[in-house]
Structure 1
Amino acid sequence: MFDRLTLPLMCAPMSFASSVPLATACCHAGVIGGWQGGTITPFELFEDYLTALADTGGAPPIVNMPARWGSDPAGADRLALLERYRVPLVLSSLGDPSALVERVHGWGGRVVHDVTTMKHAEKAIAAGADGLMLTCAGAGGHTGFLTPMAFVPAVRGMFGGLLIVAGGIADAHGIAAALALGGDIACMGTRFIATPESGVVEGHRTMIPTVGADDIVASAAMNGVPAHWMRQSIEAVGLDAKALPNVRSPMPEGVMPWRDIWSAGQSVGLIDAVEPVAALVARLKAEFEALPPGPDWRARLTAIEAGWA
């Protein structure tokens, strides 16, 4: 599946930002198209994704699901659809992925587990995950707090499988850095929010190129889990960005995090325009190939995929 990649790059699954047009545009452009398959996605739209992505002829898609759905009846209908469409990659999060790994392996798919700590990386490896997504400091939405300079090499030292590196990446230098640290694929989220294809409201999309890293606020006030938000969107709903408690707190009436308070990572300062996916990927490819040669990412991914056979 990785032989169809234009770049060692993945678009992150993101609440509200994931959309069928975004995922399909990414796959057509040759980067892994991530989409959010959890409860935020209605069941009808879930199948729309699968239908649209069934045969893009491009890079593989990856769907994000709660790890518990491997054994929880709440996820049975969605897992059945994933099996019917033989989805190649599943990104699991929040829990033990062992049951999900067994189920996905049954149809020939592979599971990447999202982790933010060494402890969780070790548990995911023990559970049989085929790969890990290391969500590092600087990521938008639910963020990690470990620097990739320490996190990625430490995990690579104990794990030979697929490593996807996320957090603060928005340009070709970030992709190259992820590979140099021992990663196999870089993951961008915020950069893909600022595309016409993303599912966010227009204000979210257009705010990203206007703000900088100092405008990113880390807080658990919105839903109880530390995440990064744009200060201007916090203030727009009447909250004081400097006085947010670091525990889940009541929001103003009618305000929903992600829909009304907008998430972004520290890479916002590297984004200066809303850009269509095809043009964005073409530009990143040209800039990446103009850099000094780094690790042979294609050979590495070929070896990983051969090991899965």
Structure 2
Amino acid sequence: MALPPLLQNLALPVVASPMFIVSYPELVLAQCKAGIVGSFPALNARQPELLDEWLTRINEELTAFKAAHPERPVGPLAVNQIVHQSNARLEHDVRVCIDHKVPIFITSLRAPIKEILDAVHSYGGIVLHDVINIRHAQKALEAGVDGLILVAAGAGGHAGMLSPFALVGEVRKFFDGPLVLSGAIATGGAILAAQAMGADLAYIGTRFIASEEAHATDEYKRAIVDASAADIIYTNLFTGVHGNYIRQSILNAGLDPDNLPASDKSKMDFSGGTSKAKAWKDIWGAGQGVGLMESVQPAGQIVAQLKEEYEAARRRLLA
């Protein structure tokens, strides 16, 4: 099946993942201007009315950029919606995004209801849903989403445990639509490898935390550059959902990263309350690809480097 037009003609087959606290308009704009899909979680706009302001700014700046640079590919915008009963803002945020005709919805935890899908489809938008296993993938497709984001082992933030080889291979047995693969993808060669496995695009987050435009503290960015795969801890303590976090940030919080208790999944809370916000602010999410990052760079330079690596990997395979 051909990719939807929104996912064609990118500078690089990459969707930048929406990172809580990190992905703000500055980073999203830099990603889109570099020719990849830029994204942010709706909940990053901490006050509901701020979401409308962000979308207005992003749309206006991208429209002006396209007019000034008609020869350059500009990536579409994606906004992440947490579909969970604790997210009291979901209805509001979805309505605002639909009013702005956001091209791509990225939904998490639960598949969106038909009314949301129909509204997004009414103006030509698409919905991608992130999943960590086959059962979730099948349920999302039954709900009617347009594509899947496969969050495999090693991904930053909320992540699964399955090998990307197994996850992509099994999903391709029953779905020939858009697949985006996540999991320690930090180089252009890894992007090409994702496509070789059967994915259409790569989902990259951690690499962009170490960017000048990222809304992350300097300490967080330095931790990304200094860490290696051995420094990543997989736990569900902080949100109720398993994810990967930097060991040093857990130590800084006075916790033993090697002896973390399990959290009660039924107590997941995405309401934006102070306790959860504090957990995400102080405990730094990151994927296992951190060891491949050597410096903090502008996002556009990161995309350019990934593209060079991607083309070099293709040439090596064809040699």
TM-score range, shorter chain: 0.7 to 0.9
Among candidates 44, 50, 55, match of residue 50 of structure 1: 55
Residue in structure 2 matched with residue 280 of structure 1 by the alignment:
302
Between the aligned partners of 1:94 and 1:113, the Cα distance in structure 2 is 8
SS at match of 2:52: helix
* CA distance 1:195–1:166, shift in 2 (3 Å): same
Q: Deviations over 1:81-130 (max 9, x none)?
A: 22222111000111132322122112321100111110010011111110
- Specify the code of the residue in structure 1 equivalent to 2:24: S
SS at match of 2:294: coil
| TM-align CA RMSD | 2.3
SS at match of 1:291: helix
Between the aligned partners of 1:240 and 1:76, the Cα distance in structure 2 is 38
Aligned residues: 290
Residue in structure 2 matched with residue 24 of structure 1 by the alignment:
29
Q: Deviations over 1:147-188 (max 9, x none)?
A: 101101211221111101011100011101110011011011
1:68 shift after superposition: 5.6
Among candidates 93, 101, 116, match of residue 78 of structure 1: 93
Q: Deviations over 1:262-292 (max 9, x none)?
A: 1111001111111110111111111111222
1:40 shift after superposition: 6.3
Between the aligned partners of 1:255 and 1:239, the Cα distance in structure 2 is 18
Contact 2:42 2:81 in 1 (8 A): yes
Residue in structure 1 matched with residue 270 of structure 2 by the alignment:
none
SS at match of 1:95: coil
Among candidates 241, 250, 254, match of residue 234 of structure 1: 250
Contact 1:67 1:94 in 2 (8 A): yes
TM-score (norm 2): 0.85
SS at match of 1:54: helix
Residue in structure 1 matched with residue 268 of structure 2 by the alignment:
none
Between the aligned partners of 1:38 and 1:86, the Cα distance in structure 2 is 18
Residue in structure 2 matched with residue 302 of structure 1 by the alignment:
none
What is the aligned-residue identity percentage? 38
SS at match of 2:233: strand
- Specify the code of the residue in structure 2 equivalent to 1:159: F
1:248 shift after superposition: 5.1
Between the aligned partners of 1:243 and 1:87, the Cα distance in structure 2 is 42
Contact 2:45 2:51 in 1 (8 A): no
Residue in structure 2 matched with residue 264 of structure 1 by the alignment:
286
* CA distance 1:204–1:64, shift in 2 (3 Å): same
Among candidates 17, 20, 38, match of residue 12 of structure 1: 17
- Specify the code of the residue in structure 1 equivalent to 2:81: M
Structure 2: stretches of 5+ with no match in the other structure: 1-5, 67-73, 266-274
* CA distance 1:25–1:153, shift in 2 (3 Å): same
TM-score (norm 1): 0.88
* CA distance 1:144–1:182, shift in 2 (3 Å): same
